[in-house]
């Protein structure tokens, strides 16, 4: 039984790694709702400008694990300010990052401690999610968050559209993101930003 579990988890890891090199240039059909909030407009425009072309000079690029670094950058574009617990800086010629800036579980823990920034929203309540909110995935239902992105649009049928790095995506339909994990164990979580 334990051996079977290892094989299933290995398949999830392989699937997740194979997603990292992909680029998803979705072209949603129908009307896509964005936001009229200037801060969120800046956030989504930043995501669109950098989902394929990393802002490496300013923020570095963590390769196949760059999703929270990218999401954090979009939040700066939205108007968030770096803190000692969420940020990055150049030291001795190298970029140093906080755990919350580059780790999906670390980012979840940071937001959990800062309800003034965001409120958790369950997958079942996703109708409450708006453009600019954060989405996180736990590919293997381990309790850790494995991937993070933002909601860049909402299709007229209510489908949430995801933008991220690792894999690079803009307006990738949520159901396709979930199916791409190749795992029935995938759990999806949201953060509604204040």
What is the residue extent of each domain of the chain? 2-193
Unique residue bearing structure tokens 């995938």: 186
CB under 8 Å to 28, separation ≥6 — which residues? 153, 155, 159, 161, 171, 173
pLDDT value for 4: 31
Q: Is the pLDDT of residue 9 over 50?
A: no
DSSP 130-158: -TT-EEEEETTSSSS--EEEEEEEEETTS
Q: Which residue has the higher pLDDT, 10 or 107?
A: 107
Mean pLDDT of 118-124: 98
Mean pLDDT of 132-156: 96
Mean pLDDT of 12-35: 64
> Nearest-CA neighbor of 111 among 77, 55, 147, 72?
72
pTM confidence score: 0.86
Pairing outcome for strands 168-173 and 23-25? parallel
Mean pLDDT of 78-102: 93
C-beta separation of 165 from 20 below 8 A: no
Alpha-helical regions (H) of the chain: 2-20, 38-50, 56-59, 67-78, 99-102, 104-113, 174-180
Q: Is the pLDDT of residue 131 over 70?
A: yes
Mean pLDDT of 3-24: 42
What tokens appear for 123 in the block? 């997958």
Q: Convert 122-132 to b/e letters by CB count within 10 Å (16 or more is b).
A: eeeebeebebb
C-beta separation of 88 from 80 below 8 A: no
Q: Which residue has the higher pLDDT, 75 or 180?
A: 75
67 vs 164: CA distance, rounded Å: 6
Q: Is the pLDDT of residue 26 over 90?
A: no
pLDDT value for 91: 85
pLDDT value for 21: 54
């Amino acid at each position: 039984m334990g051996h079977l579990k290892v094989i299933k988890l290995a398949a999830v890891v392989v699937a997740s790694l194979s997603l990292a090199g992909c680029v998803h240039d979705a072209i949603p059909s129908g009307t896509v709702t964005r936001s009229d909030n200037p801060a969120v407009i800046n956030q989504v425009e930043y995501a669109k400008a950098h989902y394929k072309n990393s802002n490496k000079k300013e923020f570095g690029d963590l390769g196949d694990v760059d999703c929270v670094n990218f999401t954090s950058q979009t939040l700066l574009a939205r108007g968030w300010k770096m803190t000692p617990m969420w940020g990055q800086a150049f030291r001795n010629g190298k970029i140093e990052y906080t755990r919350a800036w580059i780790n999906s579980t670390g980012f979840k823990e940071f937001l959990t401690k800062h309800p003034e920034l965001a409120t958790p929203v369950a997958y079942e309540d996703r109708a409450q999610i708006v453009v600019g909110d954060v989405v996180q995935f736990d590919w293997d239902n381990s309790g850790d968050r494995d991937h993070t992105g933002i909601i860049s649009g909402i299709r007229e049928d209510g489908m949430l559209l995801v933008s991220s790095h690792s894999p690079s995506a803009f307006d990738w339909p949520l159901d396709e993101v979930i199916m791409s994990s190749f795992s029935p164990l995938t759990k999806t979580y949201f953060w509604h930003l204040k």
